[in-house]
Amino acid sequence: MKRLIRCIHTLFYAAAATALYSCSVNPVSGKKEIVFMSQEKEIALGAESHPSIVATMGLYEDKKLQDFINDKGKAMARISHRPDLPYQFYIVDSPVVNAFAVPGGYVYFTRGIMAHFNNEAEFAGVLGHEIGHVTARHSARQQTSQILGQGALMAGMILSPQVRAMGESAAQGLQMLMLSYSRAHESESDEIGVTYSSKIGYDANEMAQFFGTLKRLSDKSGQAIPTFQSTHPDPGDRFTKVQALAKSYQAGHPGNYSINRDGYLRMINGIIYGNDPRQGFVENNAFYHPELKFQFPVPKGWQYENSPIQFQMAPSDGKSLMLLTLASGNTLEEAAQNIVKQYNFKVLENTRQTINGNPALVMISQQQAEQQQGQAVDPKTVVQVATWIIQYNGSMYVLHGMAYQSGFQSQFNTFKSVAGGFKSLSDPSKLNRKPERILIKTVDRDGTFQQTMQSLQMPANRLDELGILNGMEPNDKVTRGMLIKTIGI
């Protein structure tokens, strides 16, 4: 026991020494803080993360929009608390309404969020918010808090029988603390966003208006969660707080603050809206990929998610999962070897077969969750996987169907049906499917938003969706000559 205590003391003093060495002044708050990540490490992490982000989401190619975010991003970087970072700005090809930043100055906007902004000032507010995460070193601070929190928790579990007995609850408590910490970071970035966007000349009240849009999107999705369980503050609360911050800033810094609605709307005219069918789409319980020219069935009621590098789907009970991706290799056997090595599979059986005229190899494998040394294998942690490697049009497509060993057999026929339905796509109505786009129209008469949408022949069942896109309610007044968003092909 004394030896254990000495080891703990040694670790504690080593950590303390590191902490003292890593103590620095936060560039935004001006306060001293302990961080375990240098600026060089932040920049390296951003550079390491960027290729995987691009591979996962893809970049949205639109030169005028890319030039716009580069121009505004660099202008804001110059007046930020950390102008020396190598900032880079990208639009990723995702319909999700989101923006995010990684350490070192990499900032990303989805085409989904670009489609939902209604003026340059809204964009500038979110840009300031994301740059604020970088300048306030939120990633480094979060990592430090997790290291310190986990260290304290582990020490408590070693030294205290009470803490050891409630280890799971303590871990959950630590997780909740980290969520709270993230909400604090979000609120701090909101304040920074107001300051930065105002400093480059934009009306930060519009940033508050965009939180109104986020609130409507959240309410419509039906996926709202209690604020205490969310890493982001409630959008409705943020609207109120950001509006107050904007008014306070402008009261202390009188001036002419820009909104530029028309210029922004003209710039996003034609941007892809929603899912891009060219990247694959689900319709009538089937997944179709027009560019790669294949299709396969999607079990009824299963939820799915598509990205440039994989398609995954699962039933609502979460007891199984299917994943489509690509494998490297010139032959089926070579692809199989690479897969086994990549996932550390224990292969139980493998056979050759043909699926709708395509050569295929089928493997049944197991993957055991890692166990601590000396710990018995828990059969409940064994995942059984059925893998179909299908050689089609010069590529190796892989369909994995997986479930815990105890439930694998009950799911196997579903996995087999999906893989057996993999075949070429030749239907012109699927191959030639075009994406929807934001189309900017000029209002030809005074009236309400609802009347305008009707006159522009927008479907009645999409009125609420169009209202969120435009930041308007059905009875809001619109005037002749005003620009407005519609959806078309």
User: 20 φ, ψ to 5°?
Assistant: -65, -40
**Chain segment 312-356, per-residue pLDDT in tens:** 999 988 899 999 999 999 999 999 999 999 999 999 999 999 999
Q: Which tops the pLDDT comparison, 236 or 486? A: 486
Identify whether 26 is part of a domain: no
| Contact predicate 372/391, CB 8 Å | no
Q: How far apart are the C-alpha atoms of 171 and 149, rounded to whole Å?
A: 10
| pLDDT of res. 25 | 52
Please check whether residues 88 and 130 belong to one and the same domain: yes
| pLDDT of res. 177 | 37
| Residue that finishes a domain, picked among 268, 303, 318 | 268
Q: How far apart are the C-alpha atoms of 481 and 336, rounded to whole Å?
A: 61
**Chain segment 135-176, per-residue pLDDT in tens:** 987 665 444 333 333 333 333 333 333 333 333 443 444 343
Judged against a pLDDT cut of 90, whether residue 71 lies above it is answered with yes
Judged against a pLDDT cut of 80, whether residue 225 lies above it is answered with no
Q: How far apart are the C-alpha atoms of 202 and 259, rounded to whole Å?
A: 6
Please check whether residues 483 and 445 belong to one and the same domain: yes
The strand order across the sheet containing 483-488 reads 272-273, 436-442, 483-488
Please check whether residues 422 and 315 belong to one and the same domain: yes
Tokens of 139: 């990633």
Please, which pLDDT band fits residue 55 given cuts at 50, 70 and 90?
A: confident
Average pLDDT over residues 169-195: 62
Label the pairing between strands 106-110 and 99-102. Answer: antiparallel
Identify whether 469 is part of a domain: yes
| pLDDT of res. 220 | 83
Please check whether residues 344 and 452 belong to one and the same domain: no
Q: How far apart are the C-alpha atoms of 482 and 445, rounded to whole Å?
A: 9
Identify whether 282 is part of a domain: yes
Identify whether 126 is part of a domain: yes
Q: What is the 3-state secondary structure (H, E, C) of 388-447?
A: EEEEECCEEEEEEEEEEHHHHHHHHHHHHHHHHCCEECCCHHHHCCCCEEEEEEECCCCE
Identify whether 20 is part of a domain: no
Please check whether residues 138 and 171 belong to one and the same domain: yes
| Contact predicate 404/266, CB 8 Å | no
Judged against a pLDDT cut of 80, whether residue 306 lies above it is answered with yes
| pLDDT of res. 159 | 39
Identify whether 25 is part of a domain: no
| Residue that finishes a domain, picked among 268, 288, 320 | 268
DSSP-assigned letter for residue 117: -
| Residue that finishes a domain, picked among 240, 268, 296 | 268
Number of separate domains in the chain: 3
Please check whether residues 186 and 282 belong to one and the same domain: no
Q: What percent of the chain has pLDDT over 70?
A: 77
Domain that holds residue 455: 436-488
Please check whether residues 44 and 155 belong to one and the same domain: yes
Judged against a pLDDT cut of 60, whether residue 193 lies above it is answered with yes
**What pTM was computed for the model?**
0.76
Identify whether 197 is part of a domain: yes
Please check whether residues 173 and 201 belong to one and the same domain: yes
CA distances (Å), origin 283, targets 56, 78, 302, 488: 23, 47, 12, 19
Q: How far apart are the C-alpha atoms of 479 and 474, rounded to whole Å?
A: 14
Q: How far apart are the C-alpha atoms of 208 and 202, rounded to whole Å?
A: 12
Coil vs helix vs strand at 349: strand
Q: Which tops the pLDDT comparison, 313 or 309? A: 313
Please, which pLDDT band fits residue 380 given cuts at 50, 70 and 90?
A: confident
